[in-house]
Chains A and B, each alone.
Chain A
């Protein structure tokens, strides 16, 4: 593995009863890159996220983050080490305001209310949520709630950010705004792994793409290479090719 690698996943197997959700998956993420993680429904993308972020302990294999063995560490330890994540099914704290949601994230790095609030506002401005700061999170629409998921994770001041389908379900304008935001986040030096179904987005955004199918890694490389890989076309885009414009 290269020296600039921030995350290494090696030989991960994840078994749920009789189902092998991940099978010998290995990948490495370079500092500062955007890695796209794609694959058909049920390919194991979210499972892999859960393994990396500590929500699942892999049946076999190991995860190294920032050069340290972190397999089986609980999510809150990984968050403290600098790993932020969003959830595919958005789950902001519904009764709290938008500001308070982000505040909880920024409290990870400081116990001072004033500092945490300053950081939270900074994050709200970056993500365009500042006008909604005092609204309950439950009153936001889907685009707003997905934005809030990103904002909360950013408030943790992470080194690595795992984004699980943050544009799925958004209209084109909202999608473009989110893509711009993700780029801006990367420009701040944060490494990002994106899980996404919308091919246009993932191909345009990612420096590298990893393709999962039935829990196995079937391809890895630059977006163009992967898109023309016959195995990927067969598995992911369908035998006939084409029709790849997301959902």
Chain B
């Protein structure tokens, strides 16, 4: 019980720390926007991938649907972006529910392959259905309305919108960390047969998790589309983006409240830092980081931190259980 409010306080602290970012790194606003957006989207990915243990390599499709919905509604119908964002979230959660209804009959690697397949199909549709999506040439968001006089193309505005999005994503996983729904997801991840004996319906629970994850990912995708202002299927629907979201979550610590956020800061921060030194070779850093994490902290940075803490505080981890009958 107390643990749960400690986590909430930490979320507050993380968000407050992030609000200082534009003052500390005024020249690095682009990076800041990308970090908060990817932290939020990786957190959303983690609802399905980490908490429920259903590895998806198709989340780019959800980013794409979110972005395209906002952009197309704005370009073709003049609908303001906040409605576009909500429409994208609604649409993706419906898509995810149908997608899940089909693919959650599959377990393990078959599920992963099916997510790749669905995302690839959507990418090809987006490239070829030129009348709707603009095809491979992409879409250009030239202008957007100014809510409360805010310029949505201003990087500072985008940063704080992204931060609000990250805050919502963190609150959702905070809720998962103590609620019945969150524990149902973890039970399914740990042992699906056992979970069924505990009265948990794995298929409907996973579909709900997917829909929730999708709606949040789409919100991130909508904001990402505004940030990019020009985007094409190769950017927002690419499998590389799906893999990146999964990696961020894994390296930070999948199935933890702060793992994906830490992963986004470390991976994207490192990539940016090394871009300056190694130019094109900056992708190397991804590879090296992945190897380091897999070798030294297979459960991600957060998991590695917990192991370290346990070693420092409790040197003898295993004491045999002496089973007795006890009356309460």
Contact A104 B198 (CB under 8 A): yes
Contact of B197 among A87, A125, A184 (CB under 8 A): A87
A75-B196, A76-B200, A156-B199 known; A93 and B324 CB under 8 Å?
Answer: no
- Across the interface, which residues of B come within 8 angstroms of A80, CB to CB? 199
Is B288 an interface residue when CB atoms closer than 8 A count as contact? no
Docked CA distance A126–B328 (Å): 6
A117-B1, A125-B328, A177-B324 known; A152 and B201 CB under 8 Å?
Answer: no
Contact B197 A153 (CB under 8 A): yes
Docked CA distance A81–B304 (Å): 41
- Across the interface, which residues of A come within 8 angstroms of B324, CB to CB? 128, 177
How extensive is the interface on chain A, given as a class?
A: 35 or more
B177-206 to A contact mask, C-beta < 8 Å, 1/0: 011100110110011011111111110000
A108-B199, A141-B320, A144-B321 known; A92 and B194 CB under 8 Å?
Answer: yes
Docked CA distance A87–B197 (Å): 9
Docked CA distance A129–B328 (Å): 11
A142 to chain B, nearest CB (A): 9
Contact of B328 among A116, A122, A152 (CB under 8 A): A122
Is A33 an interface residue when CB atoms closer than 8 A count as contact? no
A113-B178, A174-B323 known; A91 and B183 CB under 8 Å?
Answer: no
How extensive is the interface on chain B, given as a class?
A: 20 to 34
Contact B320 A84 (CB under 8 A): no
- Across the interface, which residues of B come within 8 angstroms of A117, CB to CB? 1
Nearest residue, chain B, Cβ from A82: B199
- Across the interface, which residues of A come within 8 angstroms of B326, CB to CB? 125-126, 128, 130
Contact A103 B197 (CB under 8 A): no
Docked CA distance A85–B201 (Å): 16
Is B108 an interface residue when CB atoms closer than 8 A count as contact? no
Is B325 an interface residue when CB atoms closer than 8 A count as contact? yes
Is A94 an interface residue when CB atoms closer than 8 A count as contact? yes
A95-B190, A139-B317 known; A152 and B325 CB under 8 Å?
Answer: no
- Across the interface, which residues of B come within 8 angstroms of A96, CB to CB? 186, 190
A93-B190, A104-B184, A128-B326 known; A141 and B199 CB under 8 Å?
Answer: no
Contact of A144 among B187, B201, B323, B325 (CB under 8 A): B323
Interface residues of A in 127-148 (CB under 8 A from B): 128-130, 132, 139-141, 143-144, 147
A95-130 to B contact mask, C-beta < 8 Å, 1/0: 110001001110110010110110000100110111
Contact A74 B196 (CB under 8 A): yes
- Across the interface, which residues of A come within 8 angstroms of B317, CB to CB? 139
- Across the interface, which residues of B come within 8 angstroms of A92, CB to CB? 194
- Across the interface, which residues of A come within 8 angstroms of B191, CB to CB? 91, 93
Contact B320 A91 (CB under 8 A): no
11 contacts between A and B (CB under 8 A): A74-B201, A79-B198, A87-B193, A93-B186, A93-B190, A95-B190, A104-B198, A128-B326, A139-B318, A178-B323, A180-B325
A116-B180, A177-B323 known; 15 other A-B pairs, CB under 8 Å?
Answer: A53-B197, A93-B186, A95-B190, A104-B183, A104-B195, A108-B198, A113-B178, A113-B179, A114-B1, A126-B326, A144-B323, A153-B197, A174-B323, A178-B323, A184-B325
Top 5 A-B pairs, shortest CB-CB distance: A144-B321, A79-B199, A93-B190, A125-B328, A75-B196
